[in-house]
Chain A
């Protein structure tokens, strides 16, 4: 459990940057906590745009006769919704926001190791977001190539936004990757090289393990996107033919020739599949911590949880072509990638079992974060199981490009991580603002979001099975595929989607309302053990900890330890200082 050997400090005390003006304190801040909030607010702002786009699409699908948006606009909205949600919201929120806030606090550091680089990372991200956003107002509008941006159609006439939208999208992605790399190096080095005394890697909370592994994945996966974005930019601007085969457009031979569109798909998914885990692994980590804290029980199988995270991360690099079963690649590839895909289910299932076993006989508090965690487990399980269908070549081929796929990935990497993000915000809000979020609004938000997203995505599996294709602006005169039950279901889904959307407005209102009017949070309101709650001030100030950095004596999961009076022992409390419960002579040993 804990060894009371305190190692010598290997690191000198760092010299913090002290802001000299209002600008360097509040705007161009080098404090990871403020950078985290800047990241979070920017990500939520652009994510909200993507949410509104989805409302328009849903209304169009349910009521095609209204023709609320045109065909071109529909494709543009679908593209922007997907890209914003995956890259600019989820990646930025988990790594940029949670990473920046939690890493220094949870490993016991005063700040990130390179605060200046960290600041630049945020501003680069902001530029990427702005470049993307500007494409809504350019001639031709944003790109409508689908979030996968497959060439050759992505840069050819007939695709909406091929004038400037696609260029701005690719440029924005490149800027995003540059900005992320600066932040990502910070996260990795802070975790590897700047932990406090006693904080071995195996004593780190799983939140940090998740963020760490996801960052490493991102540093190795984003290069593929970067290179393919550069190459496609050249195809568009310099008329090179990296991805462009010889083509005829409107009876005219284009100047392209000899390129390989499949190469782009390979590169894109070499990034795209790890990206799923870049989003999922921090969610896994955070949810493990929240479950443990709110069930007052240590996480089941901590070391296995760590190895599962690392294993999933490593495997995620060799499964990418399961997104390409219908691309026309060699079928033997499909066999290999189906096998690796099913293998990756093993560590993932292990994690699900461990969450459930953590809950087993736990002292479960049905707080809002816990509700979100429970919602996550079922949603993730559901999305994971449909992944087994899609991971098998034979089952995937008929289901490919139907609503079954939409349902699968929204469940597994849309709703599931978002539930964790929301739960994590309710959990850490008292730390960040010093106030509690309003409970009633929070519970309303949870139930509408959770039940609502099931009502949205569960029927989509059915739509997929009867063969309704995805990405269609309207189904027109295709009664054979598009039965009246499918049309009615689409209306139902749209109503559910708008309700869920409304609940998010309540959440946003709650965030801002509680910051001002919320109940003042007591210190460490959830009685958690990890270091972020052990700062002298709450919310923590610049430099995080007081004069002395905390010394860590134990792992982050000492909940309900037999013999301790409280049901939790913080990481920086040595065995000698634990107040013993009545009838115990030491921890775990009853008086005889």
Chain B
């Protein structure tokens, strides 16, 4: 007998099960924080799915006509009404921020401290500008008379569900921005090199946290794509 610690691998479903149930960790090499973020995002997926399903139900059950989205969401530039202009810019910014986030993850793993911090700050600023433009869009709609309880352009559920879902998404982005700034500051200060402890948790962090943060950020981005499709294009 050799002293190898390997248990013979099994085929088919049995192998699948024994892989999953294997010793100590189900996901090999995955840090706790990252695994937790994945499960959290699965749970959050349910939240947004239910929001969107409720949206579809509301759109079907209401008796009044749904407003024409390409008119409601149009922006007037130089006297010309351009449909979906603001949303196109917002979407572009958010997707760009996903790109800078991905670059920040790579820099983090390469231990390029300054570069990672700069990219994280950039991501946070892009996120912040997204929230700002959303605030602008909200104020424009409110000026035009759209309220959660009322909508001069058609079904009142339009206003209710729009403010609720984009608000909930905007809340996710805002939380993300706050954490991006916090992590960026920690990276900049070199906390993950010096092993400085967190103020609340008293735990040492690692560069892996940038990837965990990235998962959340990409998720928020992905949710936006669905909101974009369902609210603005439908």
A239 adjacent to B149 (CB under 8 Å): yes
Q: Would you give the shortest CB distance from A435 to chain B, in whole angstroms?
A: 33
Q: Would you give the shortest CB distance from A419 to chain B, in whole angstroms?
A: 30
A6 adjacent to B5 (CB under 8 Å): yes
Residues of B within 8 Å of A, CB-based: how many?
48
Q: Would you give the shortest CB distance from B223 to chain A, in whole angstroms?
A: 13
B164 adjacent to A5 (CB under 8 Å): no
CA distance in complex: A219, B36 (Å): 12
A113 adjacent to B54 (CB under 8 Å): no
A223 adjacent to B24 (CB under 8 Å): no
B58 adjacent to A260 (CB under 8 Å): yes
Given contacts A224-B46, A240-B160, contact A201 B32 (CB under 8 A): no
The segment from B37-45, B118-126, B184-192 that touches chain A is: B37-45
A114 adjacent to B61 (CB under 8 Å): no
A231 an interface residue at 8 Å Cβ cutoff? Answer: yes
A5 adjacent to B7 (CB under 8 Å): yes
A223 adjacent to B20 (CB under 8 Å): no
- 1/0 per position for B16-29, CB-CB distance to A under 8 A? 01101111111110
Given contacts A15-B203, A189-B36, A258-B155, contact A227 B21 (CB under 8 A): no
Which residue in chain B gives the minimum CB-CB distance to A221? B46
A263 adjacent to B35 (CB under 8 Å): no
Q: Would you give the shortest CB distance from A220 to chain B, in whole angstroms?
A: 5
The segment from A192-200, A402-410, A497-505 that touches chain B is: A192-200
Q: Chain A residues near B35: list those with CB within 8 A.
A: 189, 192-193
Which residue in chain B gives the minimum CB-CB distance to A9? B24
CA distance in complex: A181, B42 (Å): 12
Given contacts A113-B36, A114-B36, A219-B43, contact A192 B54 (CB under 8 A): no
Q: Chain B residues near A255: list those with CB within 8 A.
A: 149
Residue in contact with B5 in the complex, picked from A8, A188, A200, CB distance below 8 Å:
A8
Q: Chain B residues near A8: list those with CB within 8 A.
A: 5
Q: Chain A residues near B25: list those with CB within 8 A.
A: 10-11, 192-195
CA distance in complex: A267, B164 (Å): 17
Q: Chain A residues near B51: list those with CB within 8 A.
A: 227
A220 adjacent to B43 (CB under 8 Å): yes
A226 an interface residue at 8 Å Cβ cutoff? Answer: yes
Q: How many A-B residue pairs have CB under 8 A?
A: 149
Q: Would you give the shortest CB distance from A155 to chain B, in whole angstroms?
A: 14
B202 adjacent to A17 (CB under 8 Å): yes
Q: Would you give the shortest CB distance from B169 to chain A, in whole angstroms?
A: 13
Given contacts A220-B43, A263-B57, contact A230 B164 (CB under 8 A): yes
Residue in contact with B50 in the complex, picked from A9, A194, A201, A224, CB distance below 8 Å:
A224
Q: Chain B residues near A3: list those with CB within 8 A.
A: 7
Residue in contact with A201 in the complex, picked from B26, B30, B168, CB distance below 8 Å:
B26
Residue in contact with A220 in the complex, picked from B18, B42, B159, B204, CB distance below 8 Å:
B42
B201 adjacent to A116 (CB under 8 Å): yes
Report B143-199 residues with CB < 8 Å from chain A CB.
148-149, 155-157, 159-161, 164, 168
Given contacts A8-B5, A113-B36, A259-B157, contact A238 B58 (CB under 8 A): no
CA distance in complex: A239, B147 (Å): 10
CA distance in complex: A536, B164 (Å): 53
CA distance in complex: A181, B203 (Å): 21
B30 adjacent to A185 (CB under 8 Å): no
Given contacts A189-B35, A220-B46, contact A10 B24 (CB under 8 A): yes
A198 adjacent to B32 (CB under 8 Å): no
Given contacts A227-B47, A240-B149, A267-B54, contact A188 B39 (CB under 8 A): yes
A219 adjacent to B39 (CB under 8 Å): yes
Q: Would you give the shortest CB distance from A300 to chain B, in whole angstroms?
A: 20
CA distance in complex: A258, B151 (Å): 13
Residue in contact with A258 in the complex, picked from B5, B21, B43, B157, CB distance below 8 Å:
B157
B63 an interface residue at 8 Å Cβ cutoff? Answer: yes
Given contacts A193-B25, A201-B20, contact A5 B5 (CB under 8 A): yes
B57 adjacent to A7 (CB under 8 Å): no
CA distance in complex: A267, B202 (Å): 40
Report B48-65 residues with CB < 8 Å from chain A CB.
50-51, 54, 57-58, 61-64
A526 an interface residue at 8 Å Cβ cutoff? Answer: no
B234 an interface residue at 8 Å Cβ cutoff? Answer: no
Report A174-220 residues with CB < 8 Å from chain B CB.
181, 184-186, 188-189, 192-202, 219-220
Q: Chain B residues near A116: list those with CB within 8 A.
A: 200-203
- 1/0 per position for B188-228, CB-CB distance to A under 8 A? 00000000000011111000000000000000000000000
Which residue in chain A gives the minimum CB-CB distance to B156? A241
Q: Would you give the shortest CB distance from B151 to chain A, in whole angstroms?
A: 11
CA distance in complex: A382, B44 (Å): 37
Given contacts A116-B201, A219-B43, contact A199 B27 (CB under 8 A): no
A507 an interface residue at 8 Å Cβ cutoff? Answer: no
CA distance in complex: A11, B23 (Å): 11
Given contacts A193-B30, A231-B54, A255-B149, contact A201 B21 (CB under 8 A): yes
Q: Chain A residues near B7: list those with CB within 8 A.
A: 3, 5
Which residue in chain A gives the minimum CB-CB distance to B32? A113
Report A228-257 residues with CB < 8 Å from chain B CB.
228, 230-231, 234, 238-242, 255, 257
Which residue in chain A gives the minimum CB-CB distance to B17? A202
Q: Chain B residues near A7: list those with CB within 8 A.
A: 5, 23-24
Residue in contact with B32 in the complex, picked from A17, A114, A257, CB distance below 8 Å:
A114
CA distance in complex: A394, B43 (Å): 35
B50 adjacent to A258 (CB under 8 Å): no
B57 adjacent to A257 (CB under 8 Å): no
Given contacts A188-B39, A192-B27, A223-B46, contact A242 B157 (CB under 8 A): yes
B202 adjacent to A189 (CB under 8 Å): no
B23 adjacent to A195 (CB under 8 Å): yes
CA distance in complex: A195, B7 (Å): 18
CA distance in complex: A184, B36 (Å): 10
CA distance in complex: A45, B155 (Å): 46
Q: Chain B residues near A259: list those with CB within 8 A.
A: 58, 61-62, 157
Q: Would you give the shortest CB distance from A239 to chain B, in whole angstroms?
A: 4
Given contacts A15-B204, A196-B24, A260-B61, contact A240 B148 (CB under 8 A): yes
Q: Would you give the shortest CB distance from A217 to chain B, in whole angstroms?
A: 11
- 1/0 per position for A8-28, CB-CB distance to B under 8 A? 111100010100000000000
Q: Chain B residues near A201: list those with CB within 8 A.
A: 20-22, 26
Report B90-114 residues with CB < 8 Å from chain A CB.
none
Q: Chain B residues near A258: list those with CB within 8 A.
A: 58, 61-64, 155-157
Which residue in chain A gives the minimum CB-CB distance to B47? A223
- 1/0 per position for A109-145, CB-CB distance to B under 8 A? 0000110100000000000000000000000000000
CA distance in complex: A240, B30 (Å): 44
Given contacts A196-B24, A241-B156, A242-B157, contact A185 B39 (CB under 8 A): yes
Given contacts A15-B204, A241-B156, contact A226 B63 (CB under 8 A): no
Please list 22 pairs of residues, one from A and one from B, whose beta carbons are closer than 8 Å in the complex, sorted by A's number. Answer: A10-B23, A10-B25, A17-B201, A17-B203, A116-B200, A116-B201, A181-B43, A192-B25, A194-B24, A201-B20, A201-B21, A220-B43, A223-B44, A223-B46, A223-B50, A227-B54, A231-B54, A238-B148, A240-B160, A255-B149, A260-B57, A270-B50
Q: Point out residues on A near B: beta carbons under 8 Å.
A: 3, 5-11, 15, 17, 113-114, 116, 181, 184-186, 188-189, 192-202, 219-220, 222-224, 226-228, 230-231, 234, 238-242, 255, 257-260, 263, 267, 270
4 cross-chain pairs, A with B, having the tightest CB-CB distances, nearest first: A201-B21, A240-B160, A258-B62, A223-B46
